[in-house]
């Protein structure tokens, strides 16, 4: 239950305050020249302490590869890797040994397993997503070699919504600001919103939009393996994610069919395209060659720097004042995680689509 | 890729205009007195031709059970079943042998497989969901015997949005109108909206909300088996579904953390509860004992009764006038499908949660 | 737990004395001209009542295909099928409602599930293997179109052992006698052995040898997906199978390494071959292009036509005199089942091996 | 394809001469006091360089646990671990960069993946089984806490066959000699056989027998999840394994049914038992409460210390004189690997059997 994927798989392990987190990436195509520095660069994008918007935790987050590579190339055997944990202030969490934080997994883990590693959220910590970024960075390089790109960006922070859709944006600007919104003025308003929340000891939610371009026709398997179903599962597995939609998404629920029709035509290169793309690049669960785009909603995380009332493991009411260092908005750091999950999902679907005679 | 679930599984088969559709339900707990009439009743809820709101197709949709039962009880062996197809107007679809309907799976199936059964959508037809209703009806009975209920209803049709949340509604009224909205006045507005769309040869989208109550603590497996990820995959696998969110969902993206806090407390029965339920009954991927609720967005289907411009398999532009009989709004008939997928997903998670020593 | 395979899968259902048995074959390559008569022919090879050596049960065993085919070609969607049960003498089994037959699954099913369908062995009946033969016949046709053949034969019945290995035999003669041994004189001795056992109300065991020729290099996945491990699981899942070995097998345990070396060389067509084939066509879990061969041991089934002492479900000692009609030796009818399981396993491995970029 | 198991899983990674091997153990029951020293002790049993019978390679083989444990107890989250590689004489293998060793995976890996890590066999090295021993040691402790024991021993080395069956032996003596045969005199003859082979630069095969005692009734799932099928797959995945049989096994093929009948009776404790155990503790794929026993055949490995003729990657004939340090007989060190695979398989089946309501 810690393995993502069918043929391209990531099995991850590790708690926030244990010796290390890590994983096993299996199903990597063989004889591929993997750029390890590019993997580390992706990991750095997710790292805490990048800007004033993120947690003060500073972790080097150096990935160490242990297998699956020979003289710079993948061998088709599993790639094992670890990331040592560091900068642990475990004592910050002593109060959580017994108290359950509202909106966190403390209670459910304790009830399910009979015990939990209370330090920093243990296995339920978002730190676990670092392993996904490693897996995703590997998948992404393979996809890039085939002309498939995966790019996500922040499209909403609290009430600040980026009004343009992805076709109206220059996604190369995403990394130009701390909030990872490709439009500068909206980015500034988002940053202000996050700073305001932080100043009040509060947190704020948001939305990440992701675009997969260059995808061939034919990825995804009906009925139980529809591409959107796999993407949805991948996205909802990310910490703090509360929703997923693709193409016209929830907005389509309010529409008439005549408003959202995607007519087919041949483009000038003789390729089948649709005149609009309300379908979001997927029809009947199978990619149609148009850009795939989707949104992932993130809640404002419950780690308030204010006292909250809760109970402890004996059922006593307690007041909890969290000390840990946390992001006031998880969305900017969720951007590379969304990309990673998308990249792994798409590569997995691509491999499955090749499995024919 | 036609199998849902891990331990409780449904493997389905069948095309709209072939001899039969059917499936295999595996992992059913043994020695359970299955009410076959109740399964048929669920299937009747999904059947076309129930009301003026749905397609004119009339199919008896009688499920025939072939195995897995002995003297009225489940034996722990797989339950095979078939539903014969009938009332087929295959000639209605002759034009689709070569032309690709916009917004349908015609093009993607043809491109992926090199051929397709063009009659009535073939495998991509929503008819396939009848098998899910059978599987879901079995799961639902097992859940009911454990005090777990799964109830869905129509919460939006086009611009008509049901303003109340599930706690303010009497869900026993859901079946009291053709649109399956438990509030009468809103139901009437929804019905009017569907009729208006139908009169214009158009279709309209909507939203189904689903509530799982009575769920024990501990269903769902971190990290890759989070309960919300499994639910999301199940829902996005339904035909015409475009989005999923649970708990505070996309609305939460606009919120501050202090607005959506779910404090823990002991209730008067000595059970751990949360004072609010923005989390939607799941924390860290694991059910917390509160009601699980989620929404599924459905698009307005692309089967307009107006001419549309498209291409055929040779790339020629053609004008297509669809004749088949289709629902102007799929949402009312999607309600039992959402319930079925939810029931199967919850029972599967429940079985997994039991797998310990 | 009733599904074989990873990408090419067979999910089966059905009991001996229920309305029907059947299954769902998924992952069949699309656009393949499937010969349905050839599937029925394979099924006829497994049918009871073929000769004096097999059970007197006579079942037409007509397979009815329900989906996945369009105008004679596979569509890439699942192939559902059923085989109606007939010629049921359920009353023959009334005594088994409570009594546990020695060497059968009566006790274990009852203990595991709390009840069982006692008629004819229910789900544990070898009748279930008819579904495997259907799945295998589909796989076999796909393999044949690629030049891969799967041929099994009887190589031992009780003490009668076929002395030659597969390279010394003309496997086209396998079907020339009732026992399916390609060497006539040995076949006659095997037939005499079976008749002798039958005359004494006894049964006799035996061995099936299977050869897969024309297999490309590269099927099988290290470490957990080794081709021999998949074949072993497939074979040990057959009713009455007690053992599996491949290549030098158990005989190799007695040997020195210098006796069983398979040197590599280039053959005159410029293809890599081994000078001997003690490896059995698989090295490191991956096919090496040489013929794959393996043996499957079958026990003498416990259905003696003599009184046996056993207990009933209340623990009382009872004497049981079985009346059902059973084969004195399951091996001849196991030959097509071994082939079917081998064909499905090889095609599945082939599809997996294609899943790369 | 590097993951064993369904609910209790081991995903392993690592090559013989890379930085480390390791794995992720998932599905471990929570709140179990794991004895880490006992895991290391199991690993020491597999370690090379234990006696004069094994390879001269000396590796500390220290397992480092990275996650899944908190204050000495399992948390229900995955246990990640690594074992650093050491004592690498990679230059011993330089000739293998291009040459294919007979009877090894050099050719198949190269053909399948387009390249390979030639040092020490890379991923196909038996060194990989160290990870299985770690996973197995964890499973074994959980099983032991439930009264289930897994014990293997050497029952054949070349022509030297241990004549007694497991019920006639004192399995506590297995570790009393270097060859792991519980009967001293036979052990001495086995040791002599191995020494003789070694002296000639040759190798010798053998058989490991394994006994699982204390298993409850009901493990294993019909039809595709039969316990013997899972055991067979687990055993055939071990390096150099060529065969598997259980209960009467291949010997049963020569028998009459009347010779191998396992009558049921109630024992004095009121438990259902069989008067004999030719079935090997499994009937219809489900454990019946009697001891489960099976054999695994191992070939004499092909690493001869004599010149062999083979080809290189360009198809040229070459003579190869292997220098690496290898065991003349893998069987003694395979004993803990067989136990490990059996323990993981049984625990996985046990967890699955619990998954009901």
Q: Which residues from A are below 8 Å from D113, CB to CB?
A: 30-31, 75-76
Q: Degrees (nearest 5) of the Cα angle C110, C111, C117?
A: 10
> CA-CA-CA-CA torsion for B299, B305, B308, B313, nearest 10 degrees?
90
Q: Which residues from A are below 8 Å from C357, CB to CB?
A: 29, 142, 145-146, 350-351, 354
Other chains touching A, judged by 3 or more CB pairs under 8 Å: B, C, D
Q: What is the mean pLDDT of chain D?
A: 94
Give the pLDDT band of residue D274 (cuts 50, 70, 90): very high
Q: CA-CA distance, A2 to A22, in Å (whole number)?
A: 12
Question: Does the CB of A29 have a partner CB in chain C at under 8 Å?
Answer: yes
Question: Does the CB of B77 have a partner CB in chain D at under 8 Å?
Answer: yes
Report pLDDT for C322. Answer: 75
Both tokens assigned to D352: 């699955």
CB–CB contact D356 B30 (8 Å): yes
Both tokens assigned to B269: 């029965």
Residues 225-284 of C with CB under 8 A from A: none
For D347, which residue in chain B has the nearest alpha carbon? B357
Q: CA-CA distance, B231 to A234, in Å (whole number)?
A: 11
Question: Does the CB of B352 have a partner CB in chain D at under 8 Å?
Answer: yes
pLDDT in tens, A78-109: 999 999 998 666 677 888 898 999 999 999 99
Q: Degrees (nearest 5) of the Cα angle C205, C209, C215?
A: 155
Other chains touching B, judged by 3 or more CB pairs under 8 Å: A, C, D
Question: Does the CB of B60 have a partner CB in chain C at under 8 Å?
Answer: no
pLDDT in tens, B220-275: 999 999 999 999 999 999 999 999 999 999 999 999 999 999 999 999 999 999 99
Beta bridge pairs of residue C9: C26
Question: Does the CB of D345 have a partner CB in chain C at under 8 Å?
Answer: no
Question: Does the CB of B222 have a partner CB in chain D at under 8 Å?
Answer: yes
Q: Which residues from D are below 8 Å from B350, CB to CB?
A: 357
CB–CB contact B351 D355 (8 Å): yes
Question: Does the CB of D342 have a partner CB in chain C at under 8 Å?
Answer: no
Report pLDDT for A148. Answer: 98
For A75, which residue in chain C has the nearest alpha carbon? C222
Mean pLDDT of A186-208: 96
CB–CB contact B357 D354 (8 Å): yes
Closest CA–CA distance from residue B340 to any residue of chain D (Å): 19
Place of tokens 């996985």: D348
Strands D282-283 and D272-274: unpaired
pLDDT in tens, A270-299: 999 999 999 999 999 999 999 999 999 999
Q: Where are the beta strands (DSSP E) in B158-205?
A: 160-161
Beta bridge pairs of residue C10: C4, C25
CB–CB contact C73 B21 (8 Å): no
Report pLDDT for C120. Answer: 85
Residues 6+ apart with CB under 8 A from C244: C231, C232, C235, C236, C294, C295, C296, C297, D232, D236, D243, D244, D245
Closest CA–CA distance from residue C348 to any residue of chain A (Å): 9
CB neighbourhood size of D305 (10 A) = 17
CB–CB contact B20 C115 (8 Å): no
Q: Measured between CB atoms, which of A15, A27, A73 is closest to D115?
A: A73
CB–CB contact B257 A303 (8 Å): yes
Q: CA-CA distance, A258 to B55, in Å (whole number)?
A: 18
Question: Does the CB of C30 have a partner CB in chain A at under 8 Å?
Answer: yes
For D297, which residue in chain C has the nearest alpha carbon? C250
Asked whether residue B57 carries a pLDDT value surpassing 80, the answer given is no
Report pLDDT for B187. Answer: 98
pTM (2 decimals)? 0.97
ipTM of the complex: 0.97
Mean pLDDT of D158-187: 97
* C123 three-state secondary structure: helix
Both tokens assigned to A210: 């992701």
CB–CB contact B250 A278 (8 Å): no
Would you call B271 exposed, middle or buried from its count of C-beta atoms within 10 A (0-12, 13-18, 19+)? exposed
Report pLDDT for B56. Answer: 61
Q: Which residues from A are below 8 Å from C27, CB to CB?
A: 355
Give which of A255, A163, A254 is closest to A207, Cα–Cα: A163
Asked whether residue D91 carries a pLDDT value surpassing 80, the answer given is no
Report pLDDT for D29. Answer: 97
Question: Does the CB of D291 have a partner CB in chain C at under 8 Å?
Answer: no
Sign of CA dihedral C99, C105, C108, C113: negative
- Phi/psi for C104 (5° steps) reads -115, 180
Q: Measured between CB atoms, which of D15, D70, D116 is closest to A115?
A: D70
CB–CB contact B77 C9 (8 Å): no
pLDDT in tens, A203-227: 999 999 999 999 999 999 999 999 9
Q: Which residues from C are below 8 Å from B64, CB to CB?
A: 19
CB–CB contact B270 A315 (8 Å): yes
Residues 6+ apart with CB under 8 A from D13: A24, A26, A66, A67, A68, A77, A78, A79, A80, D2, D21, D22, D23, D131
Question: Does the CB of D12 have a partner CB in chain C at under 8 Å?
Answer: yes
Q: CA-CA distance, B339 to B345, in Å (whole number)?
A: 10
Give the pLDDT band of residue B120 (cuts 50, 70, 90): confident
Question: Does the CB of D142 have a partner CB in chain B at under 8 Å?
Answer: yes
CB–CB contact A286 B109 (8 Å): yes
CB–CB contact C265 D311 (8 Å): yes
């Amino acid at each position: 239950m810690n393995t993502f994927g069918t043929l391209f798989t990531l099995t991850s392990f590790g708690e926030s305050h244990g010796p290390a987190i890590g994983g096993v990436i299996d199903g990597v195509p063989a004889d591929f020249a993997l750029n390890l520095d590019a993997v580390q660069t992706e990991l750095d994008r997710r790292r805490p302490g990048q800007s004033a918007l993120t947690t003060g935790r500073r972790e080097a987050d150096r990935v160490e590869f242990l297998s699956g590579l020979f003289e710079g190339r993948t061998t088709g055997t599993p790639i094992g890797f670890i990331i040592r944990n560091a900068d642990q202030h475990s004592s910050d969490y002593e109060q959580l040994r017994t108290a359950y934080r509202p909106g966190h997994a403390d209670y459910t883990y304790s009830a399910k397993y009979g015990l939990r590693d209370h330090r920093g959220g243990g296995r339920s910590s978002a730190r676990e997503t670092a392993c996904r970024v490693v897996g995703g960075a590997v998948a992404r390089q393979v996809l890039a070699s085939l002309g498939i790109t995966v790019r996500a960006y922040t499209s909403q922070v609290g009430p600040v919504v980026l009004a343009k859709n992805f076709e109206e944006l220059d996604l190369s600007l995403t990394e130009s600001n701390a909030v990872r919104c490709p439009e500068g003025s909206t980015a500034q308003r988002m940053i202000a919103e996050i700073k305001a929340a932080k100043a009040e000891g509060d947190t704020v939610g948001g939305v990440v939009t992701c675009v997969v371009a260059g995808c061939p026709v034919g990825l995804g398997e009906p009925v139980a393996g529809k591409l959107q179903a796999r993407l949805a599962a991948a996205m909802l597995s990310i910490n703090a994610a509360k929703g997923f939609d693709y193409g016209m998404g929830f907005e389509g629920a309010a529409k008439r069919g005549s408003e959202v029709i995607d007519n087919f035509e041949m483009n000038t290169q003789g390729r089948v395209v649709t005149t609009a793309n309300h379908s979001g690049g997927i029809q009947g669960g199978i990619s149609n060659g148009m850009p795939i785009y989707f949104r992932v909603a993130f809640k404002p995380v419950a780690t308030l720097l204010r006292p909250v009332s809760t109970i402890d493991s004996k059922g006593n009411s307690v007041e909890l004042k969290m000390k840990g260092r946390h992001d006031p908005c998880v969305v900017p750091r969720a951007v590379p995680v969304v990309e990673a999950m998308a990249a792994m999902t798409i590569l997995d679907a691509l491999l499955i689509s090749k499995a024919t005679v």
